[in-house]
Amino acid sequence: DTEVTQTPKHLVMGMTNKKSLKCEQHMGHRAMYWYKQKAKKPPELMFVYSYEKLSINESVPSRFSPECPNSSLLNLHLHALQPEDSALYLCASSQADRPYEQYFGPGTRLTVT
């Protein structure tokens, strides 16, 4: 199984809502990533988990809160988002010692109203 799954595919939320994005992989990868991608731009790294521990936080606002409950799951909790946070949120995974070979999920298209 070389698939990374993400749910939901689409999410519309108000600025006062709390929601979560979910990502799952069963490839035995011990590194997982969250990226944010705006239209016609490259993905921007947000967070990296390695062996279920947060290893990189690229100065992301606290309204984004990642969580890695186990080696297969990665969540991104959202609270009090702004309209400019609307984007495609991509999850990826890799072997911990091969961060350059990442497998991406299809993404969650988030719209903040």
Element (H, E) at 21: strand 18-25
CB 52 within 8 A of CB 75: no
49 close to 104: Cβ distance less than 8 angstroms: no
Pattern 26-65, other proteins, x by CB under 8 A: --------------xxxxxx--------------------
Phi/psi-derived region of residue 28, left when phi > 0, alpha when psi is between -120 and 50, beta in every other case: left
Site membership for other proteins, residue 96 (CB under 8 A): no
CB of 16 to other proteins, least distance (A): 27
Could you tell me which residues are beta bridge partners of residue 48?
A: 33, 56
Enumerate residues 6+ apart whose C-beta is below 8 A from 7.
21, 22, 108
Closest to other proteins by CB, 16 vs 100, is 100
In angstroms, give the least distance from the CB of 25 to other proteins. Answer: 12
The residue (of 40 and 84) whose beta carbon lies closer to other proteins is 40
Please identify, among the stretches 14-22, 67-75, 76-84, 85-93, the one whose residues bind other proteins according to the rule CB under 8 A. Answer: 85-93
Which stretches of the chain bind other proteins, using CB under 8 A? 4, 6, 40-45, 88, 90, 92, 99-107, 109
